[in-house]
Amino acid sequence: MILYDLVNAKRVHFSPNSWRVRLALLHKGLPFEVKDVLFTGIADIRPGGDKLTIPTIAHAGRFVTDSWAIVQYLDTTFPDTPRLLTPESMPVVKFFQYWVQTALHGPIARMVLLDLYEGLDPADQPYFRSSREKSYQTTLEALQAGREDRLEALRRGLQPLRLALAHHPYVAGEQPGYADYLAFAAFMWARVSSRFELLADDDPVHAWRERCLDLYGGAARREPVA
């Protein structure tokens, strides 16, 4: 099993969607090897084939791309390992992924993307700047400016997560599950890309993030911070 994952100039893995898959693989206890790629190297993973995105896994001679598709592939291909999704939980976990996208990825991008850009390999910087500035219709500098003023809104938006964590240590209950990996991966993206702190020390979400950092032998905590 190979996981193709993006790295910055310091070979640090920052892709939130890859962190989802990395934790999913650890959850299942599946051994895997990471192959580092740059944005500008994605096209070389499988020359001539359809365009892949990160994360992509290669397993048993096939490539599977997109975190949601990878998780389903892993559950199907390794039925004797702990499941990430069940038929009953899947649609609601998918909702949770959309919540993560709107409540976390959206605001966090506006707080860390310039920092992330500055940490990238110089070969990737022109692509990253032009693609993100086109997508956000503004410069990376303008996107990130004033982030302190948006911190309160980000934290307020975490209220459903905070309330859920009052009942049990993980979103998925007593043990971590894919919902945890979805939300935690967004925080990993920020953590390794920027020194801008998103959470107050006394926030239950902060304590949960610490628990996630410790999972699987501290796999996420070992990744160097920005």
Check residue 190 for interaction with a second copy (CB under 8 A).
no
* Residue 226 Cβ vs a second copy, minimum distance, rounded to whole Å: 28
Q: Which CB sits closer to a second copy, 52 or 100?
A: 100
> Are the beta carbons of 114 and 140 closer than 8 angstroms?
yes
Residues whose CB is less than 8 angstroms from the CB of residue 200 and which lie 6 or more positions away in sequence, other chains included = 155, 206
Check residue 168 for interaction with a second copy (CB under 8 A).
yes
Q: Which CB sits closer to a second copy, 29 or 173?
A: 173
Q: Which CB sits closer to a second copy, 178 or 189?
A: 178
> Are the beta carbons of 186 and 225 closer than 8 angstroms?
no
Check residue 102 for interaction with a second copy (CB under 8 A).
yes
- Select the residue interacting with a second copy from 173, 195, 210, 218 (CB under 8 A): 173
Residues 209 and 144: their CA atoms lie apart, in Å, by 23
* Residue 95 Cβ vs a second copy, minimum distance, rounded to whole Å: 4
* Residue 64 Cβ vs a second copy, minimum distance, rounded to whole Å: 19
DSSP 136-203: HTS-HHHHHTTHHHHHHHHHHHTHHHHHHTTTSSBTTBSS--HHHHHHHHHHHHHHHH-----S-TT-
Check residue 135 for interaction with a second copy (CB under 8 A).
no
* Residue 82 Cβ vs a second copy, minimum distance, rounded to whole Å: 11
Check residue 98 for interaction with a second copy (CB under 8 A).
yes
Number of residues that bind a second copy (CB under 8 A): 30
Stretch that binds a second copy, among 11-19, 37-45, 113-121, 153-161 (CB under 8 A): 153-161
Cβ burial of 81 (10 Å; 0-12, 13-18, 19+) is middle
Residue type, 37: V
- Select the residue interacting with a second copy from 131, 135, 139, 159 (CB under 8 A): 159
Check residue 99 for interaction with a second copy (CB under 8 A).
yes
Q: Which residues pair with 6 in a beta bridge?
A: 37
Check residue 10 for interaction with a second copy (CB under 8 A).
no
Check residue 94 for interaction with a second copy (CB under 8 A).
yes
DSSP 38-67: -GGGGGGSSTTSSPP-SSEEEETTEEEESH
Cα 160 from chain centre:
19
Q: Which CB sits closer to a second copy, 9 or 207?
A: 207
Point out which residues bind a second copy (CB under 8 A): 83, 86-96, 98-99, 101-103, 159-161, 163-164, 167-168, 170-173, 177, 179
